[in-house]
Structure 1
Amino acid sequence: MTRRTLLISTVAAVAALSTVNLAWAQGRPIRLIVPYAAGGPLDVTARILAERVKDSLGTVIVDNKPGAGGNIGADAVAKAAPDGLTIGIAATATHAVNPWLYAKMPFNAATDFAPITQMVRVPNVLVMNAEVAQRLKINTVKDLIAYAKANPAKLNYGSGGNGSAGHLAGEMFKAQAGIFALHIPYNGGNPAQFALQSGQVDFNFDNLATAAPGIKSGKLKALAVTTLTRSPALPDVPPVADTLKGFSIDTWWGLVAPAATPKDVIAKLNAAFVAALRSPEAQARFAGLLAEPVPTTPEQFGALMKSELAKYQAVVKAAGAKVD
């Protein structure tokens, strides 16, 4: 690099940082882009945190930009000015699954974002129709695997669609357990859960928040959670990893900014949102959603996204799922 090039780069960096500091000093609101519709878990948690950081960051406006499996909202974050005034939510789908699921992506999940902090993780849970489980004498993951091996091609499982979290978890489970079960995709998580409760399918990997009412009512039998450790929401239910070593496929989301956002701005955002995540009020409200707060450093969240992106490349390839 020549001295002239270095000088130009330095001046540009200082100018960008000055613009950021000026925008923040003027008290302009921060826009937090949620790449899904209002009312869902990601939206609710974003609004909880937006309220909690008002004293430290000022007004945070939640902007819902759903569509294309979350890609539209994520792309809006990637292409925003790196001034600390536009941030967004990165999720398992947008930053780990979609890059391998979609034939064309409008952004690069690995390079177009600066991590701020992970927000939460929500376990998925392996559930069966309670009556079917009783009839087949399946009480554990080992029982399910043993039945599938003794009765090849007799089991099926449902999901909210090809490439959904439930579909990928099912394919990952089949591969590690060495069993076969027919995948039946439905148009969304609610139809898939209805199919399970009515006995049309034998088992599902469902989001814990969605499955919890059926588990509590006794209509569904929870065999295992998909996190490496037990979930505080289901302390008596073991992880799949107790049977299949290393099995882990939970749902997570967190905060990111455009890639070129200055590090001191990222640090300020991290400090504010981590404090909010650790507040008793936020933790209580997240618990009501069966979502576990996971405040991290930017580096820790970046490492998680990198490892999840690599993991899902193999999972999506094995599932054969594609969106054109």
Structure 2
Amino acid sequence: MTKDTTITRRALLQCAALSSVAAISPAAAFAAADAPYPSRPVTWVIPFAPGGATGRLSLLICERLSLRLGQPFVLEHRPGAGGNVATRSVASAAPDGYTILATSTANVINASRDPAPTTAEGNDDLVPVAGLARMPLLLLVSRQLPVKTLPEFLAHARANPGKLTVGSAGPGTVQLLSADLFRTLGGITWSVVHYRGSGPALTDLASGHIHAMFDNTAAAVDLIRSGKVRALAVSTRERAAAFPELPPVADVLPSFETSGFYGVAAPHGTPQAIVDLLNREINAALADAEINRHFAELGATPITGDSGVYAATYRAEVMHWRKLVAAQASPTR
């Protein structure tokens, strides 16, 4: 487990189920009355290695929560299994508001593989708290690769079947699914290299150890602006506000469209009063002008609304990815 010692203050979490409101036990009610929440540090679990979009967005929000709620929010990275290691650990944590999960598109994709109807976070052991942001992905290439445009990259990949290496943030992640969709629609072949998050993959891309990858604007922005990697296109049908010069992949591959989706969840049984408190505070943070400025620099669009709105958005996102996963010509590697 990797711990990010950057501390942000005060707490997020305790919640009840979203679709079916769980009853608060007398013991929980007594504890809440005895020690107003939060009364100690909160662990904010990030399912990937440091350096990715989930961590960067989480840090901005946690700093605001710490100041507003008066307790540290400790960012703790628990990478592995495409986000499942962290998800399982939070799902099994005490529903007391002191362990919270930063969710991402990986949770949505994992839920999309389950044929059963999706409820809340797509996992009966978690309840939705709030949305954080949506953002496009970028097709990134090593500057050592002799291409400067999307058509040049496609031509190069087709002329060198199986010779390119593409980075993945892990199985079931939006980075890998985007790469697989691109590979299928582009009629190309390459080798996938899996990492425990996009941070390590980006490091290898910048050093030329891999040739290409898809990643979120928030994770890649610094490397792009410092000239260490080259961005060729954006994954959404609209151009990204942070990189308006980049064309959509759909300009060349019309069926292509993906994006990153981020939010917050808590263990099932967390009192609704705590869910509501966290939701209000996260929404207040998302409305802050300074945080909005940082989000815009990272290419992120805030997702606001109560936990019910977030749950509905989450379910819609699962259905979207379910269609994309089913449409793949070959299984994700």
TM-score, normalised by the number of residues in structure 1? 0.72
**What is the deviation of 1:67?**
3.9
Within 2, Cα distance between the matches of 1:234 and 1:240?
13
Residue 191 (structure 2) aligns with:
183
1:277–1:293 Cα contact (<8 Å) kept: yes
Q: Are the structure 2 counterparts of residues 129 and 19 from structure 1 closer, same or farther at C-alpha, using a change threshold of 3 Å?
A: same
Equivalent of residue 29 in structure 2, options 14, 18, 29: 18
Within 2, Cα distance between the matches of 1:153 and 1:305?
37
Within 2, Cα distance between the matches of 1:95 and 1:251?
10
Corresponding position: 1:34 with 2:45: yes
Q: Deviations over 1:82-115 (max 9, x none)?
A: 34444321122245348859xxxxxx84322221
**What is the deviation of 1:24?**
5.9
Corresponding position: 1:96 with 2:109: yes
Q: Are the structure 2 counterparts of residues 19 and 63 from structure 1 closer, same or farther at C-alpha, using a change threshold of 3 Å?
A: farther
Residue 270 (structure 1) aligns with:
279
Q: Percent identity?
A: 27
1:30–1:85 Cα contact (<8 Å) kept: yes
**What is the deviation of 1:66?**
0.9
Q: Note the aligned Cα RMSD (angstroms).
A: 4.0
**What is the deviation of 1:289?**
4.8
Within 2, Cα distance between the matches of 1:27 and 1:192?
36
2:224–2:230 Cα contact (<8 Å) kept: yes
Within 1, Cα distance between the matches of 2:301 and 2:133?
5
Residue 156 (structure 1) aligns with:
164
Amino acid at match of 1:52: R
Residue 62 (structure 1) aligns with:
74
Residue 235 (structure 2) aligns with:
226
**What is the deviation of 1:40?**
3.6
**What is the deviation of 1:22?**
1.8
Amino acid at match of 2:256: F
Matches within 5 A, 1:203-242: 203-216=212-225, 218=227, 220-242=229-251
Within 1, Cα distance between the matches of 2:98 and 2:200?
39
Residue 320 (structure 1) aligns with:
331
Q: Which runs of 5+ in 1 are unaligned?
A: 1-9, 102-107
Within 2, Cα distance between the matches of 1:300 and 1:78?
21
Within 2, Cα distance between the matches of 1:270 and 1:21?
18
Within 1, Cα distance between the matches of 2:242 and 2:43?
28
Within 2, Cα distance between the matches of 1:239 and 1:72?
33
Within 2, Cα distance between the matches of 1:266 and 1:194?
36
Equivalent of residue 45 in structure 1, options 21, 42, 57: 57
Within 2, Cα distance between the matches of 1:271 and 1:265?
10
Q: Are the structure 2 counterparts of residues 258 and 152 from structure 1 closer, same or farther at C-alpha, using a change threshold of 3 Å?
A: same
Query: Secondary structure of 1:25's match?
Result: coil
Query: Secondary structure of 1:53's match?
Result: helix
Higher helix share: 1
Equivalent of residue 301 in structure 1, options 285, 310, 314: 310
Within 1, Cα distance between the matches of 2:69 and 2:48?
24
Corresponding position: 1:139 with 2:149: yes
Q: Are the structure 2 counterparts of residues 198 and 59 from structure 1 closer, same or farther at C-alpha, using a change threshold of 3 Å?
A: closer
Within 2, Cα distance between the matches of 1:129 and 1:225?
16
Residue 104 (structure 1) aligns with:
none
Within 2, Cα distance between the matches of 1:269 and 1:297?
10
Amino acid at match of 2:45: V
**What is the deviation of 1:234?**
0.5
Residue 124 (structure 1) aligns with:
137
Q: Are the structure 2 counterparts of residues 278 and 20 from structure 1 closer, same or farther at C-alpha, using a change threshold of 3 Å?
A: farther
Within 1, Cα distance between the matches of 2:176 and 2:234?
15
TM-score, normalised by the number of residues in structure 2? 0.70
Q: Are the structure 2 counterparts of residues 20 and 119 from structure 1 closer, same or farther at C-alpha, using a change threshold of 3 Å?
A: farther
Q: Are the structure 2 counterparts of residues 190 and 92 from structure 1 closer, same or farther at C-alpha, using a change threshold of 3 Å?
A: closer
1:31–1:62 Cα contact (<8 Å) kept: yes
**What is the deviation of 1:276?**
0.8
Query: Secondary structure of 1:115's match?
Result: strand
Q: Deviations over 1:214-244 (max 9, x none)?
A: 5335564422111343222201112223444
Q: Deviations over 1:251-277 (max 9, x none)?
A: 332111223334443222211110112
Amino acid at match of 1:73: A
**What is the deviation of 1:126?**
1.1
Q: Deviations over 1:55-80 (max 9, x none)?
A: 65442432515143433332233233
Residue 12 (structure 2) aligns with:
none
Larger-Rg structure: 1
Within 2, Cα distance between the matches of 1:166 and 1:131?
21
Q: Which is worse superposed, 168-177 or 271-280?
A: 168-177
Q: Which runs of 5+ in 2 are unaligned?
A: 1-20, 115-120
Aligned positions, number? 301
**What is the deviation of 1:125?**
0.8
